[in-house]
Amino acid sequence: MERFGRLDILVHNAGALGKLTPAGHIVPKDLDECMAVNFTSAWRLIRTCAPVLAASDAGRAIFVTSRVAREPKAYWGAYAASKAAMETMIRCWADEVENTPLRINIFDPGRTATRMRATAFPGEDPRTLPTPADRAAALAALCLPSETRHGQIIRPT
């Protein structure tokens, strides 16, 4: 804020998978890590960055998620719950600033060849999946001043 007077773009792409295990077997350390990285860090960014984003003529905030937040699956409890909490917080924030120039969206890249995906699906051939670079253009487009979508979960086509 002191140097530039505003923040135009915020992208939260942090993610912690934790351990894929039955809900009753989730250990506190793994749940705490998922919540800290996937949810609490997003909330802290909102607290810190909301004023400087609001100072922009076209502030954009994008938070990366996963479909499992909306379609829970067995053994994904810690990760799914933390991403669902993050999505809820972001959608509340988006609703709060609806009548401002700030545009806030959630980006779900879908199946992507990442290290996290390889950990979750070790037998999957990553060459059959889009790469992070393949998904980058869709995420970057959400950061443009011309982007009008707001409060949505967006998946690349």
Q: In what order do the strands lie in the sheet with 9-12?
A: 9-12, 60-64, 103-107, 153-154
Q: How far apart are CA 48 and CA 36, in angstroms?
A: 16
- Are 90 and 99 contacting, i.e. CB atoms less than 8 angstroms apart? no
Which of 150, 137, 65 has the alpha carbon at shortest distance from 100?
Answer: 150
Beta strands in 25-113 (DSSP E): 60-64, 103-107
Residue 75 annotated among the catalytic residues of the structure: no
Q: Which of 39, 63, 76, 79 is catalytic?
A: 79
- Are 15 and 34 contacting, i.e. CB atoms less than 8 angstroms apart? no
Active site residues: 79
